[in-house]
Chain A
């Protein structure tokens, strides 16, 4: 072993001309991965050997001599224990390559290249390298590189992309054809396909900026907010139900937040404001839990309050029956922190809830400092359930009017009760005379005695003459009298019905003046609180030169913590927020982020494929006032975005299309699929907002849009239509965590547990089965057939062309038309031959509907077109 070590040491000397490894860059990361867990980061430090700083390696190991001898690789405990396999005691051993690096460093003098502090506090120690992780560095705004093929560049995005391609010896694909490009940009910006008329207009527009004007039209359409709102609702884990418990109770007012998001995106609200309002709209509006009513007459402040529902979106079982209420409360907080940090920071901060993060420099204390920012909202020891965080939208006038009506209604109810008593007493007087005289007095006394005070004799007496009692069941004595009373109560009910309708919203607020103490929870267990912490940013982001934020309590009585934090996040200096946001926007337009792991910018995440482009976009976004529409416009008008499918060569050399030398076809996502099917069939109900469209479980077991109709056993016999609401865009359909719409689920709509940073797109047989046999598709195909027949009556060729244009944007080829017509003819013939002539109508009955074989056959064609890849994928 010694000999082998000497031989290794010798080989290091030979390789002296290689640059020697550094402590910070090469040696410390090895020791951190293999040794530092026990030797430095965890208390107590094993054997007193702390490896966190180079200077600590000067110390002697008790009873063993020096840890290392600079310049001498034959001595020192560090090398000995590694070579002997004595260390590490557990986990992965130090590899021979790693050992060689340590040896070369020691042989070269074992120096640190940066000054180190004299001492450091116990626990996770942040190094310069931690702080210099690419995602933690300030956003630089690099100048676009120069490229050889400058003619291809439409805007700076293209320069960054092309520079990489030229490095790799690749050329960008030619621009997509105009119909494909229009369909792509329409779906990407609005989630809907272009109409045939929009295609015609675009093809006819030969002006140089025809495409840009289409982009502006799409950005200005109301559908834009519905499409991009859906993206944000994924990230924040929006649902119309509370989740957590099996009941998955409803959140009846969550939709106001959904509508706020859509409206904000359509209004191009700057994203710094968009984020501040969601994190701290209550503090902006200057209200607390007690004073929300003071804001309801101001639509702006109501909007700010509604925005804070963002902090109420995580699963929360505290309003339902749960086995451990305290656990449920703390889990609701943990889920919300998971959502907030993954949405805005792009880090797996939630991993530090129970212990220091394993891979990223995030300590458990960091986690609880972040939690402290939110604890005035979520005080788990003085909890407010979802219902208690729901607020009325009554104005003071409405409230006064309602109170006045209520007072009058109560008075009428009192009258009714008095009337009932009087009528019963009158009956009693008639009944009592039926009793033997001597028992009348005692009976009267027994009746007047409250039930729980009656003596056994009195009870026996009443049992003896039950019908004389007449203290209830007026209706059984005399229904007419009962009706008098009921009518009186009815007056009160009718009066109550004249109150102004009361509407509600959910919001996150603080209780005035109440700031709970925040503590680190040992192992994340709220029953094991440890040291107190104050609100703060992750230590790795709070360098000595940046003081992230200092809460200033506003006059309204809240803590000011969230407002200060939100302003720091959106102040422009935060390294993560702009990068995380623009990366996600990019992903929505290309199918893959510049960082392929949008929720993890840490060490386990992927590195950016185009780091300079990411920074440039982040800088551009902030400098341009955090305007998403401007950024979307910039991206979709780039030459990069406009590329066509490209050749097989690019696909073979870059299968994941990291370098962007082409456009990868993308399947319509779940909502875009349902919405464009409805659109093509001519049934899409535009617009919306308001309470969600209801869902029902049909007799087959699918969750569909509609209303359940049940039989006496409570079994669903059918799902009733909701009329035009059946055909509203998917974002408006009730999103219940446990019962997602089956069609959307089949096409990969995510489970909100608690949120979704990145969707998957699968290709599985259940999707194909749905396209073949699901009634949604069959109904849509039939509606589409009816539509094209109405558009081109008696002209099958025209009907085929119309269907093609509605679904694909493009005209069919001659061959396409021929096979389509043949299909319709064959299907019609087959259906005709299979279906017997209808029996004559029975007398007095309406004639049975005449089968429309031609429409069925056309519907068959339409279904095939809907199921085709040309429809399901966007080039």
Chain B
């Protein structure tokens, strides 16, 4: 199921109206020479080069790009994806098992049946909640995993686990690893782009797109939540064209000399590369981030004309346009940890769903229709789920659900994942993943597998040790998810 375009797309040298002239030509020609021979996979021993040229993964791949719709806060699985009749049946009664609260003090042990109804959807008959009606329309496209597990109850550590492989801070994120391992298919856009929410960044801000200790070349580029999405794409009239090319050529010369005096400083090297990229982005990013050419039916599909979905719809459409143009990894963010419904869940959860349901489903449908879904993974999920019992038993308006990282749900579509498939199960309460448990590290191992990597072999040498995304955890590729 190799995508025919995989690793063959090169629109490097003559992007848009910006001719490169002498600018960075040396670099690019050098790169070109490298491209002629297969690029050394980073897993082999020997000198490792840090660049964003497209790399051939060591094994056949089913995915070449990924869009992560990250739902920081912890969406409630038993209200969205994982129906639990037992909760409804025992609503308000004492929970019979042992609960791991985020709180160590006494919390409510009252069972909290989902206030929302579930029904089988699609030909596959996957049961989904009424809160995600548009997802129901693409049920046959997705794999729904109901047995996610990270086992660490704090948002920060859980985020690090789901977004960067382990519970500790400061590690490279999945997007950074993919940029490092595979480079970018576009030399005109950053390999790793992040689309921020207008209300602000998620709670852990830059941790979402950090390169950790990988060279800074691999960090995500944040795209502004409003127009202009990327500032300063227009050269001043005075220097447009040849004069700016001359500036960039001189700049590269000065920076190359400076780098030679500071060998091995990745940050300096990354900035040299970032000027070359910036020059090409002047036309490429403008074009990629301009949705005015998108026809009305596409805008409607994403809900761009509806105020409730306009923002998220626009950003999902931008994500599609970016991967279409060769960006390796795009993450679409929410603000704060807006899915963290400790309280006020009756009003809060439907509102959170309303904003993302249509755009997310539209993204999958649109990618399918364009033939891109087979090579693009779309992921929808947060860093945790929620508990089967009531939190804040102080009236319907205030009540919510506490954290649960022992069993939660997420869905994934495309890029080699099965269609119309439900994987794993939680116990009858939706509390613990008990069947076909997928740990965060299994999830990451599976993703790397789709991109053509053995998770133990995509490594970065650090202080004499080989570091990887799943470092030291008993990860396994969950082949059952693929097919």
- A residues bordering B, Cβ < 8 Å? 37-38, 41-43, 46, 89-92, 124, 351, 354-356, 358, 364, 522-523, 525, 527-528, 597, 604, 645, 648, 651-656, 664-665, 667, 700-702, 742, 746, 751, 753, 760-775, 778, 819-820, 823, 826-827, 830-831, 856, 860-861, 863-865, 867-870, 872-873, 875
Contact of A355 among B103, B243, B255 (CB under 8 A): B103
**Closest chain A residue to B342, Cβ basis:** A523
Name the residue in A46, A664, A863, A869 with the highest tally of chain B Cβ atoms < 10 Å from its Cβ.
Answer: A869
Q: 5 closest Cβ contacts across the A-B interface?
A: A768-B278, A355-B103, A773-B232, A769-B232, A651-B264
**How far is it, in angstroms, between the C-alpha of A775 and the C-alpha of B213 when the chains are bound?**
33
CB distance A831 to B222 under 8 Å? no
Determine whether B106 belongs to the interface, using a CB cutoff of 8 Å to chain A.
Answer: yes
Per-residue 0/1 for B327-368: is the Cβ within 8 Å of any A Cβ (1 yes, 0 no)?
000000000000000100000000000000000000000000
Q: For residue B389, which residues in chain A have a CB less than 8 angstroms away from its CB? A: none
Contact A768 B268 (CB under 8 A): no
On chain B, the residues within 8 Å of A43 by CB distance are 105-106
Instruction: Please report the C-alpha to C-alpha distance between residue A773 and residue B235 in the assembled complex, in whole angstroms.
Output: 5
* Contact indicator B100/A91 (Cβ below 8 Å): yes
Are A774 and B190 in touch, CB under 8 angstroms? no
Q: A765-B281, A830-B242, A869-B271 are in contact. Are A92 and B151 (CB under 8 A)?
A: yes
Q: Is B274 an interface residue (CB 8 A)?
A: yes
A870 to B251, alpha carbons, bound, how many Å? 10
The answer to whether A869 and B272 touch (CB under 8 A), given A763-B217, A769-B233, is: yes
Question: How many Å from the CB of B408 to the closest CB on chain A?
Answer: 14
Min CB–CB distance B227 → chain A (angstroms) = 6
- Find the A residue at minimum CB distance from B167: A604
CA distance A751 to B207 in the complex (A): 13
Across the interface, do A869 and B255 meet the contact criterion of CB distance under 8 Å?
yes
Contacts of A875 in B (CB 8 A): 262
- When chains A and B are docked, how far (Å) is the Cα of A227 from the Cα of B231? 28
- B230 proximal to A (CB < 8 A): yes
The answer to whether B265 touches A867 (Cβ under 8 A) is: no
Residues of A contacting B98 with CB < 8 Å?
Answer: 38, 46, 89-90
Are A702 and B406 in contact, CB atoms less than 8 angstroms apart?
A: no
Please name all residues of chain A whose beta carbon is closer than 8 Å to the beta carbon of B147 when the two chains form the complex: none
Q: Assess A764 versus B106: contact at CB under 8 Å? Given A351-B154, A701-B228.
A: no
Knowing A358-B153, A868-B254, A869-B255 are in contact, say whether A772-B105 is a contact too (CB < 8 A). Answer: no
| Given A860-B243, A864-B247, A648 and B263 contact (CB-CB distance below 8 Å) | yes
Query: Closest CB-CB distance, B241 to chain A, in whole Å?
Result: 9
Could you show 25 A-B contacts with beta carbons less than 8 Å apart? A37-B100, A124-B104, A354-B103, A355-B101, A523-B105, A645-B261, A648-B263, A653-B463, A656-B213, A665-B262, A751-B200, A751-B201, A762-B216, A763-B217, A763-B274, A765-B230, A767-B274, A771-B278, A772-B235, A775-B236, A827-B243, A864-B247, A870-B255, A870-B258, A873-B268
Partner of A765, one of B210, B278, B398: B278
Residue of A nearest to B254 (CB): A868
Chain B residues with CB under 8 A of A91: 100, 151, 406
Q: Which residue of A lies closest to B189 (CB)?
A: A765
Q: Is the CB of B267 within 8 A of A665?
A: yes
Look across to chain A and name the residue whose beta carbon is closest to the beta carbon of B210: A760
Known: A764-B221, A875-B262. 16 other contacts (CB 8 A): A92-B151, A351-B154, A358-B153, A364-B104, A522-B105, A651-B264, A665-B265, A700-B231, A763-B270, A765-B221, A765-B274, A766-B222, A768-B277, A819-B250, A863-B247, A872-B271
Q: Which residue of B lies closest to A527 (CB)?
A: B394
Number of A-B contacts (CB under 8 A): 200
Given contacts A523-B392, A772-B279, A860-B247, contact A766 B103 (CB under 8 A): no
A750: nearest residue on chain B (CB-CB)? B205
| Given A769-B281, A770-B231, A872-B271, also A763-B219 (CB < 8 A) | yes
Q: How many residues of B contact A (CB 8 A)?
A: 80
Q: A525 and B394: CB pair below 8 A?
A: yes
Q: Are B246 and A867 in contact (CB-based, < 8 A)? A: no
Taking a contact as CB atoms under 8 Å apart, the answer to whether A655 and B251 are in contact is no
| A89 and B231 alpha carbons, distance in the complex (Å) | 53
Q: Which residues in B have some Cβ–Cβ distance to A below 8 Å? A: 98, 100-107, 151, 153-154, 157, 168-169, 190, 200-201, 205-206, 210, 213, 216-217, 219, 221-222, 224, 226-228, 230-236, 238-239, 242-244, 246-248, 250-251, 253-255, 258-259, 261-265, 267-268, 270-272, 274-275, 277-279, 281-282, 342, 391-392, 394, 398, 406, 432, 462-464
Chain B residues closer than 8 Å to A42, beta-carbon distance: 104-105
Q: Could you say which residues of chain B place their CB within 8 Å of the CB of A522?
A: 105-106
Contacts of B248 in A (CB 8 A): 772
A825 CB → nearest B CB, Å: 11
Q: How far is the CA of A868 from the CA of B200 in the complex (A)?
A: 31
Contact between A869 and B258, CB atoms less than 8 A apart? yes
Contact (Cβ within 8 A) B231 A769: yes
User: A772 near B101 (CB under 8 angstroms)?
Assistant: no
Identify the closest chain A residue to B168 (Cβ). A604
Q: Which residues of B contact A773 (CB under 8 A)?
A: 232-236, 282
How far is it, in angstroms, between the C-alpha of A774 and the C-alpha of B234 when the chains are bound?
9
Q: Nearest-CB distance from A716 to chain B (Å)?
A: 14
Assess whether A764 is in contact with B274, with CB atoms less than 8 Å apart: yes
Task: Please name all residues of chain A whose beta carbon is closer than 8 Å to the beta carbon of B275 when the two chains form the complex.
Answer: 768, 771-772, 867
Docked-complex contact A700 and B102, CB < 8 angstroms: no
Residues of B with C-beta under 8 A to A870: 254-255, 258
Report A841 CB to chain B, min CB distance, Å. Answer: 22
CB of B258 within 8 A of CB of A868, answer yes
Instruction: Find out whether the CB atom of B102 lies under 8 angstroms from the CB atom of A354.
Output: yes
Given A653-B463, A653-B464, check contact A525 B231 (CB 8 Å).
Answer: no
Q: Which of B222, B232, B268, B277 contacts A770 (CB 8 A)?
A: B232
Contact of A358 with B105 in the complex, beta carbons under 8 Å: no
Q: How many angstroms from the CA of A46 to the CA of B190 in the assembled complex?
A: 53
Residues of chain A contacted by B244 (CB below 8 angstroms): 772
CB-CB nearest in chain A for B272: A869
How near does chain A come to B197, taking the closest CB pair, in angstroms?
Answer: 13
In chain B, what residue has the closest Cβ to A737?
B200
Q: For the complex, what is the distance from the CA of A649 to the CA of B28, rounded to whole Å?
A: 29
Q: Are B463 and A654 in contact (CB under 8 A)?
A: yes
Complex contacts, A753 vs chain B, CB 8 Å: 200
**In the complex, are the beta carbons of A528 and B222 less than 8 A apart?**
no
CB-CB < 8 A to B153: which residues of A? 358
Nearest chain-B residue to A748 (Cβ)?
A: B206
> Residues of B contacting A354 with CB < 8 Å?
102-103
Contact A869 B259 (CB under 8 A): yes
Residue among A358, A868, A873, A875 having the largest count of chain B Cβ atoms under 10 Å: A868
Q: Using Cβ atoms and an 8 Å threshold, which residues of chain B touch A90?
A: 98, 100, 406, 432
Residues of A near B100 (CB, < 8 A) are 37, 90-91
CA distance A604 to B104 in the complex (A): 19
Cβ–Cβ < 8 Å partners of B282 in chain A: 769, 772-773
Residue of B nearest to A828 (CB): B243
- Determine the distance from Cα of A702 to Cα of B239 in the docked complex, in whole angstroms: 21
A92 to B265, CA, bound (A): 40
The closest CB in chain B to the CB of A774 belongs to B232
Residues A760 and B262 in contact, CB atoms below 8 Å apart: no
Which residues does chain A contribute within 8 Å of B169, judged by CB atoms? 597, 604
Provide the residues of chain A in CB contact with B107, threshold 8 Å.
Answer: 523
The answer on a CB contact under 8 Å between A823 and B246 is yes
Q: Closest approach, in angstroms, between the C-beta of A606 and any C-beta of chain B?
A: 9
Inter-subunit contact A701/B227 (CB<8 Å):
yes
Chain B residues with Cβ below 8 Å from A655 are 213, 462-463
Residue with the greatest number of chain A CB neighbours at <10 A, chosen from B154, B205, B231, B277: B231
Nearest-Cβ distance from residue A596 to partner chain B, whole angstroms: 8
Q: Which residue of A lies closest to B199 (CB)?
A: A246
Chain A residues contacting B221 (CB-CB under 8 Å) are 764-766
Asked if B228 and A700 make an inter-chain contact with CB atoms under 8 angstroms apart, the answer reads yes
Check B231 against A763 for contact (C-beta < 8 Å): no
**Given A769-B230, A872-B271, are A355 and B262 also a contact pair (CB < 8 Å)?**
no
Q: Closest residue to B101 on the A side, CB-wise?
A: A355
Quote the shortest CB–CB distance from A775 to chain B (angstroms).
8
Nearest CB in chain A: distance from B173 CB, A: 13
